Amino acid sequence: MSAPAAYSHFGIEVAAYDATIVRYIPHYRELLDTIAGWLVGHVPEGGLVIDLGAGTGALAATVAAALPTATLELVDADAGMLAAARTRLGDAARVRTRQADFAEPLPPCAAVVASLALHHVAEPAAKQALYAAIHAALAPGGVLLIGDCVLHDRGPGEARVRAAWAAHMQAHGMTAAEAAEAFARWDAEDHYLPLATELDLLAAAGFARPDVYWRRGPCAVYGGFRE
């Protein structure tokens, strides 16, 4: 259940990832801010927040700014991404990194977050198992917050979302052909599920009241609390 390296997925080098991701993903900054904002008040002082598929640390840095007393563990299969994240966050006293895939055990924690990462888990049964493992790792009152693309595989709503998504990429300097090529590459690698399916998987994994905390365009922030 490991994610592909940044270059193979986005066609960009790690150093260019942060500058480029906003061209590809609509409302990316708002997605990160929403996740961090929902953690406030739910992570105790010194509490551990695990960032799955942490990439270059953009979400972790946002969380660190929102929670100045929290500790963070950044998990990613890509060593280059983790090196970039370590450079970005810097504070070795409260930040650690671990090169691992999503299937490896998680330590007890106050929260788990993920941004644009868990769609790499291909099978719904595997994703439900991951959600169950996260639920087991969370302390009572702990929270899982996921920011990701959520799409039906066809239909008028999905077509409209994709059209707006392509328009976003073109507004950020890409051609229509480049946007179409990006969709083709992602469709061959990614495994988007409808939002309703994601909520059902969370419920089956033990989250009593899974919910949606934000949605714009192709992306949503969703998750649940361990009660």
Please report the domains of the chain, with CATH numbers, ordered by start residue.
6-151+191-225 (3.40.50.150)
Collapsing DSSP to helix, strand or coil, 68 comes out as: coil
Cα angle 18-62-88, degrees, rounded to a multiple of 5: 55
pTM of the model: 0.90
Q: Write down the residue that tokens 């066809």 correspond to.
A: 154
Instruction: Give me the pLDDT at residue 1, please.
Output: 38
Q: What is the mean pLDDT of the chain?
A: 91
Q: How far is CA 43 from the centre of its chain?
A: 18
Give the pLDDT confidence score for residue 105 in this predicted structure.
Answer: 95
How much is the pLDDT for 2? 37
Strand 138-149 to strand 219-225: parallel, antiparallel, or no bridges (unpaired)? antiparallel
The model's confidence at residue 158, banded by pLDDT at 50, 70 and 90, is confident
Residue 89: its H or E element: helix 79-89
Predicted pLDDT of residue 14: 59
How far is Cα 41 from Cα 143, in angstroms, rounded to an integer?
11
Distance CA 73, CA 50 (A): 5
Strand pairing report for 138-149 and 211-216? unpaired
